[in-house]
Structure 1
C-alpha cells in the first residue's frame, strides 16, 4: 500500500538518505503509518524456494497371519501394488509381528505345502508372502519370538530349498550376540537394505529409484522378555518403561546415519502402545517418521473409508515435534492385512518433513476389502501371494470340518474389547479352563486368563452386524458351528494350564496386576478374563490400589466369599483359594507376580491330565492345553443347545466391573455406612457430595473418584470460580458437604460413594448464585460448547509475572490465580463460555503491571472434550525470535508518542529520529536492555515530539531508526506528527 499510495500522488516511492547508515546493512524494512493505520511492510529481499523431495511410505504392522489372511493378504497385495505404482520414490516397511503362531503359521508345516514353499516349515508361508509383496525392511516385534529364537533364525536364513527373508529385520535396542541362534545373522548397520537379505541389523539405508537415500532404524518393545520367548537376546533399556533411555539408544543409530549425510529417517517400531511412540518422539532428533506397531491403533482421516464397524482411533498421521522442535509424523494402521498405510509427504532440501504437504485425500488408511481393491484400480496381486494363500486354504479347510459345539451369537474376541473389558468369549474360555482344572482337582474355584492370549473373535462382521461363525458347505459346517480352526485361530498360542494355591492377599495382588496398565486408551495383554470370581476397579486410582471389590462366586454367580472391600482385605488374608491359570503367566509372562508367591502347590495340567480326564472328544490338541479345554467344554455343553449369551458393553458387565462405566454392585457398606450412587453423563455435571467419607475429599481425590478431567467450584469469598484439572499439581481445594461442584467426565458413568450422613452441615448451596439446585444425578451437556472451562498455565523458569486472560465469549478479563496458575469460567444458566476455535488472549505483565507480551491460545476439540486447556510459558516465549521496531502509538500524534520494539538479544539500544530530508533531529539513548518485549507505555521508548535541543518540531513526516549495538540490522519506521 505504501507504493500504491505514492503512485496515486504521481510520485516515485521516497527513500530517505539516512545519515550514518552502515554499508553492511543486510535488511531494511519500511512501513508508513498514516491516520493511525499501519500499512503492510515490504522487503527488498525475496526468498528463493528451496528444492523438495516427495516420498511415499507404504507400511503395515501386526500382519499376524490368521484365517482372515486367506482373504485379506491377496487384496492387501493388490492395493499395495496399485499405490506403489503411483509414486516413484516408494519405500515399503513393516513395523513388527510379521507372523504369529496359529493355524496359518502352522499350516506351512504341512507336507502339502512343500512344493509351494520350497521346504515346509511353520511360518514360512508368512515370510514368503512378505517377500512377494516387496517389503524392504521390517522391525522385530514380540510375536516373531513366540516360537523361539531357533524358529526365528530358521525363518530368516536361507537354505538349499528355502530363500528366507528377502529383507533385513531391524532392532536397535536388542543385543543378539548372546543368542547362538540369531548371532550369526547379525550384520553391520547402515548398509543398503537390498544388499543384506537374510539378516538382522540396527539400521539400513533404502535408495529410491531417483537416488534419494532414506535411513530406517528398528525398535522393539523393551517388554519383550515378559511378552514372548527371546532366548538369550539382550533387551535394553533395563527399565522397560524408561522411554528416555530407549530414545538414547535409538538416537545412536540415527546419529550414525545422519553422519553419513542421510537426512530423511524413518523409525519403525513395535512399542505396543501408540502413546509410547508419541512419548519417544519428543526425546529424538532427526527422525522424520515413526511407524507405530503393536497397538493395532487405526489412524485414519475423514476421507478414508473403513471396514464396516471400524472407527478411527486418531487422525492420520499424528503430527508431533522432535526434541529439536522439528515435525515428526507418526503413522499406523490396524493389523491382519486389513489396511495398507500410506504416507505421501514432501521434505525440504535439508531433509525436514513438510507437514503442509500431506494431502488427506492421498495419505491415510486404505481398506483391503473388495471395494478397496476396486477403488485403487483392481491391480493384480502378487502371484506368489495368491499361490501361497490358496495352498494354506486347502490345509485350513480340512480343519473347519472338525466341529465342537455351536453358538448363536458373535463371540467377541476383538483386541479393543478383550483387553479392556469382560467379554462373552473371555467368560467362555475362562469357564472352560475352570472345568478342565476341576477335572484334575475339584478344589479349584477360580480361573484367570490373560486377554492378550485371545487373538480373534469367533464369528464374522457383515456390514454393521456381528454374526456367529459362517457356514462352510465344503465341509458341511452349518452357521454357528464352532470348528477346530475357529478354536485354533482364537487361541493361537495354545498355552498350557496350571493349578496354583494363592492366599487372599496374593489373589488380590494378582488382580491388581491385571488392571495396573489399563486406562487411557491402553489395551494391555495382561487384562484378565475370569470365572469363579468378580471384581470392580477404578483406573483413575493409582496402580496397586485400583481394585475396589473382589469376591468369590459359585457357578450361578452368587457371592460365596468377600476378599476385598473398598480396596482393603476382608477377613483372614492368609486363607487360600485354588485357581487355574495359564502356564505362560505362571512363568512370568506379562509380568504376572506368581513367582513371588511361596507354597503355591503348582501343578501343570499338561504333565498330569489324561485324555479321559479331559473328556476325550477333542484329540487335535494335547490334554491340559487351552485349545483342548475349550473344545471339550463346547462339545460337552453346547453340542445340542447353542451358546446364547450375547456380549454387552462395560456398563453392563458383572464379573469385571469398570467403575468408569457403572456402579459397584459388589460393594457392601460397613456397619453404620450407606452407599449412594451418582449417575454422571458425558460432559459437564453439577454434583454435591452425598455422603461424608471416612477421609475428606480434595479436588484431586474427587477427580480420581469420579474419573473427571476437571473440577470447578465457586468461591463465594472472592466471587470467582476456581478450577482444578487432571494435569494440575497437588491436591487442589477441599471438597465440602452441602456445596455444589462442576465435574467433567468424558463418558457416562456411575459412581458409588460410601460413607455416613453429613453432620452439622448447612443446607446444600448451589455451585454459584442463580444456579439450579445441586442433585445427585449428573446433568448432561446440552451442546458441544462448554458452560464451564478451566485454563491451566504452566510457568517454567518464570517468576514475578502476572497473567490476565481475555475470553471472547464472556468478554471478561480473568486474572490467573498467582498460586496455582488457573483461571476458570462457568455459567450456571448453561450459556457458552468457550467453544472450539475460540482464541484466548493472555497478557503477561511484570509486578508493576507493565505489559511484557500478549499471547494467543486457540481452544481445540480436545480441550472441549476435557473441559480444560493448558498453556506453557517459558522464558523463550518472553524473548522474541527477532529484533523488530514496531509501529508507534498514537500515530499521527501530537504532542507525544511511544515507540515500541522487541529485542531478540541483550543489547545497547539507540533510537534515532530523522526528518523526511534525512537530518537527525532526536537521539534517544536507551542504554543496555535485556532481550524481551518493550510494548506498553512503561517499557516502550518515549518521544515528546522535540529535537535534541528541546525545541518542539513542526508537523510533518519523520523516520525513526532502531540500532542495537554492533548489530548489522537497522530497522526504520515512518511516523507523522500533526
Structure 2
C-alpha cells in the first residue's frame, strides 16, 4: 500500500522538468571560475525519511561478516547513524584539508523530514510520551535543523507538537510554505522561534542560510488539519533568498520535501540564489559507481544531479533513500564572493550505514541503551499484549480476502467506518455511512485461530502506514464504480477486491467488467457487474444494475485507496485523513468498539452476506 509513496506535484512543472532533466548527469558541469582556489569548503551531511527505522534493516541477506555491535539487523539503525555522522563531521573539519579543499572548512547536518512513521516502532513513542524515542535519536545524532515532511502530520498537529516538544527547543524545524496560525499547538512554536521559514547556521566563521519547503500535496497525503499550505514554492524560496542576501548571507541551501526528486529538478529553473538543493520524500537511491551500497540496493541515477537555475548556474541536487540506511554528503567549494566553484567529487555521495564489512561502525552505546533497547522490548511486548478474544477463526488468507467476503475482511472494513465516525467531529467531516478496505491491504495471509488477538497481530493484519480517510460526498454513480473496481478481476483474486462495511451488494461475473487506464484510476470501460447495492439502513443505491437517484454517500477508506491506489476511481473527490492508521483503527475497534470480544454471531465464518456473486 505504500507503492503510491511518490506524489509528483500538481503544479506547473512540466516545462521546467523537461529542461531540468536535460542536465541531470552525475558528473559536475564545468563551473565558471572553477580554476580559482576555494576560500571555503562546506560539507553538507544529511539524512531524510528515517521513518522510525530505529532498529536497522536486513539488506538482501548477503553476509559480509559478523555484525560489529550485536544489533539484529546488519544495516542502518539510529545508533550506527550517530556514530557515522560523528565520524564524518570530524573528517570534514579537522586535520589537514583534502586536496582541492579550502583551508577553512565547515560542516552542517540536516534532516530532510519524515523523522517518524506510523508502525510498531513508533507506537513505542506514543506509549512512552514526551520525549519520543525517535526524537531522542534525532537529538543524539545532532542535526542543526530539520525540514518538516508530510509524515510529521500523520497523527495530526498535536502529535507533531509533542515531537517538537521532545527537543525542549534544541532543534529548529524549517518550512517556509506552511502557515500554522490555524493550529494553536504548532503556532506557539512559531511564536517562540522553534518553527521557522528559514534558519541561519554558523560554521567556521561562515553563515549558511537554510530554507525549507514542504510538499503542497500535504493535505491529501497526511493530516495537517488547519495548517495551510502554499504551492508558490519558487516565489517563497526566491523571496527568502533575497532577504538572506540583503543580510549578507551568500551561501544558501534549499531543503525541500517534495516527494520525488524530479520535483526538485523541476523547481530549480525557477530559483535564483540557491547554491544547492537537498530533496526528500521520494526515497530514490542516487550514487556513483564507486559508492558502496547496502546489498539489494541499486542506484537509480548519479549523485549529485544537476539543473540550471534561472540565471544559468548549474545547481547540484541530491537526496538519499530513508530508514537510516545512508548519510548523504555534499562537499561544496566556495570562492571569496560566496559563489560555488565546484564540488569535491571524491567525498561527495551517499555513505552507507553498516555494521558489517570494511566500512562497519559500531552503534553509539547511549542511543542503543536509551532508544533501541526499549523499542525492541516494546515490540516483544506487542506480541504478548492481548487486545481482544475471538470466538471464531478469522480468515485473512491472501487469496480469500482478495476474491470474496471473509469475516476478517468484514472486521477490518467495520473498523475503518468506526474510526471515521469516532474522529469525524474533530476533523469536521460527515460521519461515514459505509467503508471499503482493499483486500491487498490485509496482509497476515493466515487464518487467525479462535482465541486471543494480540497487538502484534493487528500490525500483521494492517502493517502499512495508511491512514483512515473520509470521503464526505461520494456520488452514487461513483460508489457503484468503486464497487465495480473491486469485482473487476473476479473470479480471479486481486488486491483491488474490496471488503465492505455498511452495505450489501451483488455482482454478476458474466457481465462487462470495469477497465481503467493502466497505471491510473481513469475509467476506460465502466463496469456493469454490480446489480444491487443496499445500505444497512435500507437505502437502495443500485437496483437491477441501475443507479437510484439520491444524495451522495459519506465513505471511509484508507488514504492509499482514496488517492487512486489499486485503480480505485475516486477521481478528484476531496478526502480528509483523520489522524488514525488503519492498524490503530483495527486495534481500537477490537478493544473499544467490540469491548474486546469478536462474537461468532457478528462475524461468522464466511461473513454475513455483504458480498454476493451471481451468474
Greater Rg by CA: 1
- Could you say which residue in structure 2 is the equivalent of 1:167? 171
1:228: Cα distance to partner?
2.3
Q: Secondary structure at the match of 1:375?
A: coil
Does the 8 Å contact 1:133/1:382 carry over to 2? no
- Could you say which residue in structure 2 is the equivalent of 1:503? 476
Q: Relative to total residues, which structure has the larger strand share, 1 or 2? A: 1
**Deviations 1:826-848 (CA, angstroms, capped at 9, x unpaired):** xxxxxxxxxxxxxxxxxxxxxxx
What are the residue-to-residue correspondences of 1:578-977 with 2, within 5 Å?
A: 581-582=556-557, 622-623=592-593
**CA distance in structure 1 between the aligned counterparts of 2:201 and 2:139, rounded to whole angstroms:** 16
**Deviations 1:498-527 (CA, angstroms, capped at 9, x unpaired):** 999853345548999xxxxxxxxxxxxxxx
- Could you say which residue in structure 2 is the equivalent of 1:81? 86
**CA distance in structure 2 between the aligned counterparts of 1:391 and 1:247, rounded to whole angstroms:** 43
1:579: Cα distance to partner?
10
Does the 8 Å contact 2:53/2:324 carry over to 1? no
**CA distance in structure 1 between the aligned counterparts of 2:331 and 2:147, rounded to whole angstroms:** 21
Match of 1:319 among 297, 300, 306: 306
**Deviations 1:74-93 (CA, angstroms, capped at 9, x unpaired):** 22223222222210122110
1:203: Cα distance to partner?
0.7
What are the residue-to-residue correspondences of 1:445-460 with 2, within 5 Å?
A: 447-449=436-438
1:349 is aligned to 2:336: yes
Q: Alpha carbons of 1:579 and 1:170: their partners in 2 closer, same or farther (altered >3 Å)?
A: closer
- Could you say which residue in structure 2 is the equivalent of 1:128? 136
**CA distance in structure 2 between the aligned counterparts of 1:586 and 1:548, rounded to whole angstroms:** 18
- Could you say which residue in structure 2 is the equivalent of 1:487? 460
- Could you say which residue in structure 1 is the equivalent of 2:242? 255
- Could you say which residue in structure 1 is the equivalent of 2:375? 392
1:548 is aligned to 2:552: no
Q: Secondary structure at the match of 1:350?
A: coil
Q: Alpha carbons of 1:402 and 1:64: their partners in 2 closer, same or farther (altered >3 Å)?
A: same
Q: Alpha carbons of 1:561 and 1:290: their partners in 2 closer, same or farther (altered >3 Å)?
A: farther
Match of 1:185 among 175, 185, 189: 189
Match of 1:288 among 253, 261, 275: 275
1:370 is aligned to 2:355: yes
Q: Alpha carbons of 1:619 and 1:445: their partners in 2 closer, same or farther (altered >3 Å)?
A: closer
Q: Secondary structure at the match of 1:389?
A: helix
**CA distance in structure 1 between the aligned counterparts of 2:480 and 2:251, rounded to whole angstroms:** 50
**CA distance in structure 2 between the aligned counterparts of 1:138 and 1:428, rounded to whole angstroms:** 44
**CA distance in structure 1 between the aligned counterparts of 2:394 and 2:409, rounded to whole angstroms:** 20
**CA distance in structure 2 between the aligned counterparts of 1:171 and 1:347, rounded to whole angstroms:** 26
**CA distance in structure 1 between the aligned counterparts of 2:46 and 2:479, rounded to whole angstroms:** 44
**Deviations 1:368-412 (CA, angstroms, capped at 9, x unpaired):** 2322xx533635526235421111211111113469999999x9x
Q: Secondary structure at the match of 1:365?
A: strand
**CA distance in structure 2 between the aligned counterparts of 1:96 and 1:108, rounded to whole angstroms:** 17
- Could you say which residue in structure 2 is the equivalent of 1:818? none
1:181: Cα distance to partner?
1.2
**Deviations 1:896-946 (CA, angstroms, capped at 9, x unpaired):** xxxxxxxxxxxxxxxxxxxxxxxxxxxxxxxxxxxxxxxxxxxxxxxxxxx
Q: Alpha carbons of 1:486 and 1:136: their partners in 2 closer, same or farther (altered >3 Å)?
A: same
- Could you say which residue in structure 1 is the equivalent of 2:517? 538
1:151 is aligned to 2:170: no
Unaligned runs of 5+ in 2: 1-32, 57-70, 94-105, 418-432, 447-453, 486-494, 500-506, 508-512, 534-543, 607-615
1:233 is aligned to 2:221: no
1:309 is aligned to 2:296: yes
What are the residue-to-residue correspondences of 1:562-573 with 2, within 5 Å?
A: 572=546
Between the two structures, name the one with larger relative contact order (CA 8 Å, sep ≥ 6). 2
What are the residue-to-residue correspondences of 1:417-428 with 2, within 5 Å?
A: 427=402
**CA distance in structure 1 between the aligned counterparts of 2:132 and 2:335, rounded to whole angstroms:** 41
1:203 is aligned to 2:198: yes
RMSD between aligned alpha carbons?
5.1
Q: Secondary structure at the match of 1:186?
A: helix
Q: Alpha carbons of 1:382 and 1:215: their partners in 2 closer, same or farther (altered >3 Å)?
A: farther
Q: Secondary structure at the match of 2:312?
A: coil
Q: Alpha carbons of 1:358 and 1:510: their partners in 2 closer, same or farther (altered >3 Å)?
A: farther
1:549: Cα distance to partner?
3.6
1:65 is aligned to 2:69: no
- Could you say which residue in structure 2 is the equivalent of 1:216? 210
**CA distance in structure 2 between the aligned counterparts of 1:174 and 1:426, rounded to whole angstroms:** 40
Unaligned runs of 5+ in 1: 1-45, 111-119, 189-195, 238-244, 412-423, 460-467, 469-480, 513-527, 553-558, 564-569, 598-603, 638-978
Q: Alpha carbons of 1:450 and 1:207: their partners in 2 closer, same or farther (altered >3 Å)?
A: farther
Q: TM-score, normalised by structure 1?
A: 0.41
1:571: Cα distance to partner?
7.1
Does the 8 Å contact 2:177/2:214 carry over to 1? yes
**CA distance in structure 2 between the aligned counterparts of 1:94 and 1:429, rounded to whole angstroms:** 44
Q: Secondary structure at the match of 1:324?
A: coil
**CA distance in structure 2 between the aligned counterparts of 1:623 and 1:133, rounded to whole angstroms:** 41
Q: TM-score, normalised by structure 2?
A: 0.63
**CA distance in structure 2 between the aligned counterparts of 1:145 and 1:280, rounded to whole angstroms:** 24
1:67: Cα distance to partner?
6.8
